[in-house]
Amino acid sequence: MKSENIPAREIVNLLRQKDGIEVIELNVQIDHVHLVVWIPPKYAISSVMGYLKGKLAIRLFQRYERLGKRLWGRHLWSRGYCVSTNGINEEQIRQYVRWQEKKEKEIEKLQGNLFDEDRG
């Protein structure tokens, strides 16, 4: 499944259903998601992550039936996630998310070129 098959707008739309949540940075890659989000204190972070992972998994399994067949027990997401409320510089995290996206594009371009050469 390519990264563009998991629409970033679905993640944003799901989070918009929760009042006050703001997506700051988002990078969807083939096997993981980087997300910097502002969550108001009225929500437990674990509840927001559970909501997001659960709703998005249901939508993906509905859209891509074979995905559920490939995953034993239909477990799409890992159990964990990284959270920082303070202590880690937010700008550094945002730069890391953008850097990951840039690196992913460079790798995709290189891999595409390698496979193109094999065809010739």
- Catalytic residue, chosen from 43, 64, 81, 96, is 96
Q: Do residues 49 and 77 lie in contact, with contact meaning Cβ atoms separated by under 8 Å? A: no
Active site residue 96: yes
Beta strands in 1-84 (DSSP E): 22-28, 33-38
Q: How far is CA 95 from CA 4, 44, 48, 55, in A?
A: 21, 25, 23, 27
User: Helix 8-16 to helix 45-63 angle, to the nearest 10 degrees?
Assistant: 130
Question: Catalytic residue numbers?
Answer: 96
